[in-house]
Amino acid sequence: MKLTCNVDVHHLTRVEGHGNIKIRIQDGKLEEARWEVVETPRFFEAFLVGKKWDNAPWICGRICGICSIGHTLASIRAVENAFGIVPTEQTRKLRLLLKHMETLQSHILHLYFLAAPDFANVGSVFPLIESAPDVVARAAKIKLLANDVCDCIGGRRMHPTRTVVGGFTMLPAKSELVGHKDRLREVMDDLIKTADLFRSFAIPDFLRETEFVSLKGNGDYPFIGGDLISTDGVRKGEQQYREMTNEYLVEQSTSKWSKLSRKSFAVGALARLNNNFEFLHEWAREISLSFGLRPVNHNPYMNNIAQLVESVHVVAESIAMIDELLDSKFSEPRQHVVAKAGVGVGAVEVPRGILYHSYEFDETGHIIKCDCVIPTSQNHANIQHDLQELAAQYAKEGRKDRDIELLAQMLVRAYDPCISCSVH
C-alpha cells in the first residue's frame, strides 16, 4: 500500500524559538514539505538606529540567550573595525578563550539536552536524570565548567559584562585560570565518553548535496574574523558579507533566507569542519575520523558529530591558550576608543554558524544603519530543501509516518536552530 500521511508539528520542541514542520504525502507522492518560521520579530536593526556606539554590544548581545557571547563579540568587532581599533594579543586570546567556552557550553547543551533524547527515545532529558544519571551528570559537569570559564573571563555566562569595545573592563585572576585548566584536562575524558555515547546512536543515513559557508582558516581553525569561504569555491572578504549572504524574504517565514551558488547553503559546525578540517586539533581530527566524518560530508545529521568534534577542538586549544596566558605578563585590559564615521563588519563563528554584524556610524559615533545576519536565517532555506528531499525519499521508500515525523524533527534539530535569534 502506498503511503499517505500528514505531519503537522506546531512549534517544534527542543529548539530555541518557534517553527513548524508540515509534510503531506498522498499515495506515496510528496505533495508538500514546509519549514515555517512563525517567531515574532524584535527589530534590533531598527531600534539600534540613533544609539551611540557603546550601546551596540550591550544591546545586541541580547539578540540571543544561547550565543549572547558570540553576538557581543561580533558587535564589538564591527565597532572596532569601523573605528580602526586593532585588539591587543592579550584581548584577542581572552576573547577566543571566552568564545571557545561558549561553543562548548552550547554544543553540549545541544548534544545532550536537545538532540540525545531523540536517540534515547525519550521526550526530554528529564527522564534520563533517573534512567541514566551518570550521563546527565557528565553533561552538567562539562556545561558547568564551560559556563564557569565564561563567568571568569566575560564576567557573566549570559549577556557578558566585561566585554567592551577596546578590550575588557577587567581581567581574570591567573589563579582562577590555573584551576580551569585542570578542569579542562579532566573534561577531555568526559568528551571521549561523549563520543562513545554518540557512537552507540544510529545517526540517520541521509545525503543531500549542498554548499557549506564559513570563515576560512588561516593556519588555525577559524572563529573570530577573517575571509569567508564556501565549498563551491566562493571566497570573499569579511566586508563583502552581503555578497555571501544575499538575504531575501519568503512568505513562509518571518526570518529572512539566504542563498549563494545554489538554491540554499548551510552554515554551522559541519560547514566549518568541511571547510577547515586540516586546522582541527589532532585529537579532534581523530574523533572525527572515528565517525567516518571527513570533508566534504553532506549528511546534515552529522552536524551533531561535527559539534562533538569541535567540542574536543576547543577544549584542547583552550588548555594551550591558558598556558600561553599564564606565561604572559598581563597588560592594560582596555584600549582608548575614539569614534569616527564609517562602516564596520564583524564576522564571528558562533555555535550555529557564521554570524555577521555591520554598523554604519556618523562622525559622532551614532548608528545610522545596522544589519545583523544570523546563522540560523542562513540555514532556513537549506532546512527547507533538506526537508523536501527527506520527505520525498522516505515517501518513496514507504516509511512509517511516525518515522517520517521523528526523522523530520531530528533533521531540524540537527541544525541546532536558534529561531528567535534568526528573527531578531
Partner 1 sequence: MAETTARPKNFLGVPVAKPKVAFIELSSCEGCQLQIVNNEATLLDFLSLVQVVNFREAMTEKSDDYDIAFVEGSVTRKDEAEKLRTVRNNARVLVALGSCACFGGVNQLKNRFDLDWVKREVYGNSFIDTDKAQPLEDFVHVDLRIYGCPIKKEEVEKIVTNLVIGREVHHPRYPVCMECKANENICLYDLGEPCLGPITRAGCDSWCPNNRAGCWGCRGPADDANMVQMRKIMTEQGFSDETLIDRLECFGGFKACVDNIRKGQLK
Q: Choose the binding region for partner 1 from 46-54, 230-238, 336-344, 347-355 (rule: CB under 8 A).
A: 46-54
CA distance 265 to 347: 17
Please say whether the beta carbons of 151 and 176 come within 8 A: no
Told to check if 55 binds partner 1 by CB under 8 A, we report yes
Q: How many amino acids of this chain bind partner 1 (CB under 8 A)?
A: 55
Minimum distance, C-beta of residue 48 to partner 1, in the bound complex (Å): 8
CA distance 298 to 408: 16
The DSSP bridge pattern shows strands 167-168 and 367-373 to be unpaired
Told to check if 115 binds partner 1 by CB under 8 A, we report no
The length of the chain, given as a count of residues: 424
Residue type, 72: T
Minimum distance, C-beta of residue 275 to partner 1, in the bound complex (Å): 28
Q: Within its chain, how far is the Cα of 112 from the centroid?
A: 16
Told to check if 117 binds partner 1 by CB under 8 A, we report yes
Minimum distance, C-beta of residue 189 to partner 1, in the bound complex (Å): 18
Q: C-alpha distances in angstroms, 6 versus 14, 36, 38, 388, 391?
A: 21, 15, 20, 14, 11
Identity of the residue, 274 or 379, whose beta carbon is nearer to partner 1 in the bound complex? 379
Please say whether the beta carbons of 348 and 391 come within 8 A: no
DSSP for 15-52 reads: SBS-EEEEEEEETTEEEEEEEEE-PPP--HHHHTTT-B
251 contacts: CB under 8 Å, gap ≥ 6: none
Told to check if 109 binds partner 1 by CB under 8 A, we report yes
Q: How many other CB atoms are there within 10 angstroms of residue 170's CB atom?
A: 11
Told to check if 28 binds partner 1 by CB under 8 A, we report no
Please say whether the beta carbons of 118 and 413 come within 8 A: yes
* The binder of partner 1 chosen from 34, 92, 93, 141 (CB under 8 A): 141
Told to check if 261 binds partner 1 by CB under 8 A, we report no
Told to check if 330 binds partner 1 by CB under 8 A, we report no
* The binder of partner 1 chosen from 24, 34, 62, 242 (CB under 8 A): 62
Identity of the residue, 264 or 420, whose beta carbon is nearer to partner 1 in the bound complex? 420
Minimum distance, C-beta of residue 265 to partner 1, in the bound complex (Å): 22
Q: C-alpha distances in angstroms, 215 versus 91, 268, 309, 366?
A: 20, 10, 17, 29
Residues 151-170 that bind partner 1 (CB under 8 A): 155-159, 161-162, 164, 169-170
The three-state secondary structure class of 7 is strand
Told to check if 352 binds partner 1 by CB under 8 A, we report no
Told to check if 298 binds partner 1 by CB under 8 A, we report no
Binding mask 181-210 for partner 1 (x = CB under 8 A): ------------------------------
CA distance 388 to 380: 12
DSSP for 349-392 reads: EETTEEEEEEEEE-TTSBEEEEEEE-HHHHHHHHHHHHHHHHHH
Told to check if 144 binds partner 1 by CB under 8 A, we report yes
Told to check if 41 binds partner 1 by CB under 8 A, we report yes
Minimum distance, C-beta of residue 59 to partner 1, in the bound complex (Å): 6
Identity of the residue, 144 or 341, whose beta carbon is nearer to partner 1 in the bound complex? 144
Identity of the residue, 1 or 249, whose beta carbon is nearer to partner 1 in the bound complex? 249
Told to check if 11 binds partner 1 by CB under 8 A, we report yes
Backbone angles phi, psi at 41, to 5 degrees: -75, 150
Binding site for partner 1 (CB under 8 A): 11, 13-17, 40-47, 49, 51-52, 54-55, 58-59, 62-66, 68, 109, 113-114, 117, 123-126, 129, 140-141, 143-144, 147, 155-159, 161-162, 164, 169-170, 249, 254, 420-421
